[in-house]
Amino acid sequence: MPEQRVIIARVRRPWGVDGSVAVTPYSDERVALRPGARVFAGSMTYTIESVRRAGSGMAVKLTGMDTPEEASKLRDTELEALASDLPVPPAGVYYHYQIIGSEVVTLSGARLGKVVDIIETPANDVYVVREPQTNSETLVPATQDIIKGIDTVAGIVRVDMPAG
C-alpha cells in the first residue's frame, strides 16, 4: 500500500527570476516547507532548496526549477509531502489531515457526523461536521470547552456540545 501523502501547499505562480514559486501553505502543514524536504507535485518529486516569505505566503525554490517558465508549469498545483516526513507535532496538536474524516461523537454517544473541513479563524479552528443521512452540517469550535478528546488512530473526536 502506498504511503499517505498530505497536501501541504498550493502553488500560486512563479516568483522572481530563479524558478521559485509563490505558494499558499495549508495550515500547520507549512512546517513541511523547509529546505531539504521532499515534496511531490503530481507525478514529479522535488527537494526544497530554500523558503522565504513572499507577501502573504511563501516563496519556495525547488530543485530542477530554474526559470520562471519552468515554474509556471506548477501554477495552481498542490504540493504534497509524505505523512511520515512531517515533523511529529507536540502533544495535543494535530495536523488537519489527522482530523478530517474523523467521526464526531458527543460524550453521551450521539454521532454528529464526520469532519469534512476545517475553517481557520483567528481565535480557533472550527470543524465542519457533516451528517451523512441528512447532509446537514454542524460547526464545532475546536476549543478546550468543546473538544474533549481526539483519537487519531480510531478516527474519533469526542465533543461536549452546548445545548441548542
The pLDDT tens digits for 126-157 are: 999 999 899 899 999 999 999 999 999 999 99
Kindly give the pairing relationship between strand 20-25 and strand 57-62: antiparallel
Q: Tell me the per-residue pLDDT of 46-104, one tens digit each, with 9 for 90 and over.
A: 999 999 988 778 899 999 999 999 999 999 999 999 988 888 888 888 888 899 999 99
The one-letter amino acid at 73 = K
In whole angstroms, give the CA distance from residue 153 to residue 151: 6
Under 8 Å between Cβ of 161 and 148: no
Q: Is residue 91 part of a domain?
A: no
Q: What is the CATH number of the domain that holds 19?
A: 2.40.30.60
Q: Is residue 164 part of a domain?
A: no
In whole angstroms, give the CA distance from residue 116 to residue 136: 12
Q: pTM of the predicted model, to two decimals? A: 0.71
Domain range for residue 111?
96-159
The one-letter amino acid at 71 = A
State whether 104 and 64 are in the same domain: no
State whether 81 and 100 are in the same domain: no
State whether 72 and 100 are in the same domain: no
State whether 80 and 15 are in the same domain: yes
Kindly give the pairing relationship between strand 156-159 and strand 103-106: parallel
Cα distances from 54 to residues 32, 104, 111, 114, in angstroms, run 17, 37, 42, 35
Kindly give the pairing relationship between strand 147-151 and strand 156-159: antiparallel
- Average the pLDDT over 34-57 and give the result: 90
Q: Is residue 90 part of a domain?
A: no
